Amino acid sequence: MNPWRLIGVGLAAYALGLIATAPATLIDAQLEQASAGGLRLAEASGTLWSGTGQLEIRDANRASGIAKSMSWRIRPAYLLLGKLRCEVTLDHALRHFPVTISVAGIEIADADINLPAAALGLGVPKLAALGLSGDMLLHIARLAMSRGSVQGNATLQWHAAASAFTQVSPLGDYELRLEGSGTAVQASLRTLQGPLQLDGQGSWTSGRNPVFQGNARVAPPQRQQLTPLLRMFAIDRGDGRFELILK
């Protein structure tokens, strides 16, 4: 056998041995660094090769968040490219998605993640006290994270949106499109349907709270019921129009 090939086989076997025995807790350190503390892996067990844990999504102050059960398994072929690629499953779903870890950072592709509406309060603290509910689905087409940089795009859909502070339910269905390019993530909100019409633009920079400016409009039949709720986080401009400034 060619000596260089023999050396390559030996190094690959050594790498496989490290992955098979390295503790799963090493993933937490990589996640924390790539996301500036926004993502953590708690209660990790197993190895880098295969394991389980609780994926935590934390607020800007890293003081609170939500957790999703997670399991993963390494795909060995990507080691030859100098990458660690996992098949990840959240909440025991039937469908998994790929997560690639390299020296450059972490990349996620084609992922569908169900989230509670309370997750909105993690990004925008002003919304945390509104008692929000409904079904939210985050679809990540591609997301690459490294220290202080985000690249890619995702879509967050919120169906049957509701709040504990109004009897009008549902408020509507909404879609937030996210585009990451460098140090900032740009957001665009639109209403799919519903009595509460929302639209606007926003941005998020690593280490800072998101900033969002938009508008809310309410038709006369629901205006009296929804005005107290909207005044909790928006400026009443009259005639069912409200200005949203969230940061």
Buried-state track 59-95, b at ≥16 Cβ within 10 A, e below 16: bbeeeebbeeebbbebeeebbeeeebbbebbbeeeee
- DSSP strands (E only) in the chain: 39-46, 50-58, 65-74, 84-90, 97-102, 105-116, 132-146, 149-163, 172-182, 184-193, 196-205, 211-218, 234-238, 241-246
Of 47-51, 183-187, 212-216, give the range with the top mean pLDDT.
212-216
What's the pLDDT at 4?
44
CB 78 within 8 A of CB 100: yes
Confidence of residue 23 (pLDDT cuts 50, 70, 90): low
Average pLDDT value for residue range 198-208: 85
| Among the listed residues 169, 179, 90, the one whose alpha carbon sits nearest the alpha carbon of residue 137 | 90
Structure tokens at 89: 């499953």
Helix (H/G/I), strand (E/B), else coil: 82: coil
Tens digits of residue pLDDT in 213-229: 999 999 999 999 999 99
- Of the chain, the percentage scoring pLDDT greater than 90 comes to 42
pLDDT the model gives residue 22: 58
More confident residue, 188 or 95: 188
Q: What is the pLDDT of residue 157?
A: 97
Of the pLDDT bands very low, low, confident and very high (cuts 50, 70, 90), residue 10 is very low
Is the per-residue pLDDT at 6 higher than 80?
no
Q: Give me the residue spans of the domains in the chain.
A: 1-103, 106-247
d(CA 147, CA 187): 20
Please report the sign of the dihedral spanned by the C-alpha atoms of residue 128, residue 129, residue 130, residue 132.
positive
Q: What is the pLDDT of residues 107-163, one digit of tens each?
A: 899 999 999 898 888 877 788 889 999 999 999 999 988 777 888 999 999 999 999
Q: Higher pLDDT residue, 59 or 211?
A: 211
Does residue 14 surpass a pLDDT of 70? no
Report whether pLDDT(21) > 60: no
Mean pLDDT of the chain: 84
pTM equals 0.80
